[in-house]
Amino acid sequence: MSTPDTAQAASSARPRARMYNVDLLRVLTFTCVVFVHSYGAMNPPDAPDMGAVSLLMHFTRYSFVFITAFVLFHGYYRKDTKASTFYRRRFGAIVLPYVVWTLIYTVLTFTTIETPESVWAGLQTTILNLLQGTGWFHLYFLLVSMQMYLLFPVLRWLVRRTAGHHGKLLLAAGVVQVGIMLLFSYVPAPPGVLGTQLWAMQASILPSYALFCILGALFAVHAERIRAFLTAHYWLFGAAFAIGLAGSLTVFFLRVNEGVTPDVAANPLHPDVLPWALGSILGLYAFCIWWAARRKPGSLLARIVDWGSIRAFGVYAVHPFMVNLQWAPLHEQWANFFGNRILGGAVMFLSTLLLSVIAVELMLRTPFAKALVARSPLRRTASAARHV
């Protein structure tokens, strides 16, 4: 007869089923990131329609945090993995790609935007980019991920310690989330280097995503209960999606009508994005659960999601490079050729996605795959599979 402890140990020893719903959510999120950055390259940020698109696509940063927390807690919550082992595995997978891509984009900046005045100035900028996640506009998320890895033992202890009171924990995280948003949106940076740096890095610090970190953790811990609940109440999550969309867009256009410029009104850390960020994640998560329950192995969509989930990080890392590669020589020609910035933005999105996928496919077949796309080279994987 097994005891609860031995049963839990046996459960921990068994490989966990693949979370196809999370794979789909990851693919959707990364695709939206590519869309907003490529589409935005062909559209002025101060145009009201572009501001609205930017506002809606800001859900991706919160979805990133949700997915990362979900994956961490799904894999490690019920395991007593030593912190040193956990850090070696997680940081070993992300630090090298973060450094490599920071250096790539820093060099891109030096060669296309602003050349440093001296070698020392260039070295200072490079070091600051590494410390602050400012090598390019999208690298902040890797810095946020590393903060989640660093604090995971504390977060796991907190979730375990509050077992039976996770609703209160989620509420507390929501209060922190709103407080942080209000702080950075309405309180000027305090004088001094520390305050200036903190306000400058507001998008790169984990407290700015407190609610979504805890939400992802709790959705993983209570995955089966949540799956059963939403399967019986899909309409609630659909309603959250619709209400979040209507609420955030309404506040956005009200602020624009009051004279706030669209790019400022689309601030990703302003409280008006919160209803949509939360509603979109709940709605999309429910949709992904619905799809996973009906997934047909080997179907076209299943293969696309499986294929895309492996390449998502690489596409995320390389796509701004592909935008820049096209924008610099072709921006005016494309704008004149298409004669419509919305159509031009759509074409830029498709070409950026295609070029990024091609680049990732090539990188996956080099010995540098782990440093570039955080994956083992495909040739090595295929060779190992043949010898099993």
- Residues 3-15 have pLDDT tens digits of 334 334 444 444 4
Contact 373, 313 (CB under 8 A): yes
pTM of the model as a whole: 0.90
Tally of structural domains, the chain: 1
The answer to whether 271 and 182 have CB atoms below 8 angstroms apart is yes
Residue 386, pLDDT > 50, answer no
Distance (Å, whole) CA 5 – CA 78? 11
Domain span at 289: 4-386
Q: Within 10 A of 368 (CB to CB), how many other CB atoms are there?
A: 12
- Distance in angstroms (rounded) separating the CA atoms of residues 253 and 244: 14
Closest CA to 254 of 55, 84, 111: 55
Assign 2 a pLDDT band (cuts: 50, 70, 90): very low
pLDDT at 343: 85
Contact 62, 212 (CB under 8 A): yes
Check: CB of residue 342 under 8 Å from CB of residue 43. yes
pLDDT at 382 over 50: no
pLDDT in the model for residue 344? 83
Q: What is the CA radius of gyration of the chain?
A: 22
Contact 25, 67 (CB under 8 A): yes
**Would you place residue 196 in the very low, low, confident or very high pLDDT band (cuts 50, 70, 90)?**
confident
Q: Which residue has the tokens 């060099």?
A: 107
Out of 9-13, 16-20, 147-151, the most confident range is 147-151
Residue 114 burial (CB < 10 Å; 0-12/13-18/19+)? exposed
Higher per-residue pLDDT: 205 or 112: 205
| pLDDT, averaged across the chain | 88
Q: Name residues whose C-beta falls within 8 Å of residue 297's C-beta, 6 or more positions apart in sequence.
A: none
CA distance 35 to 29: 10
